[in-house]
Amino acid sequence: MKVLLRSDYPPNPDNVPRSLVFGELVKAGADVIEHYHSDLYYDALWVEHKVVADVPFVYGVREYGTFISEGGGDMVKLAKEHNDEVWSCVVSQDSDGRWWMEMVSL
């Protein structure tokens, strides 16, 4: 799934729309998370400090919260064993200044 976040002109790769990235993550997990919604607070902090253009990260949701990471590896394997929903995510800006977030189900 590829989502248009916003358009900036002229393009500026340092102006990542992190609040919009977080909003898409919340939407992705809204129907799954039943407990520990407080995980979303820590996800917001992680997005604010870690998300940069063109660097992939992994996001997962389950009934009992979320996880987010720059890597994945064992975390993704464990999540899939428990039928969690997991995505590889990347935020990018095209030459016209449009910011996109792509979420690929793992």
- What does the pLDDT look like over 1-25, one tens digit per residue? 999 999 888 888 888 999 999 999 9
Tens digits of residue pLDDT in 64-86:
899 898 877 777 777 777 778 99
For residue 12, give both structure tokens. Answer: 């500026």
pTM assigned to the model: 0.88
Count the alpha carbons within 13 Å of 52 in the hemisphere toward its beta carbon: 5
DSSP E strands: which ranges in 2-97?
Answer: 2-7, 57-62, 65-69, 85-93
- With CA atoms as reference, report the closest residue to 88 among 15, 28, 7: 28
Taking a C-beta distance cutoff of 8 angstroms, is the pair 92, 100 a contact? yes
- Provide the greatest CA pair distance for the chain: 44
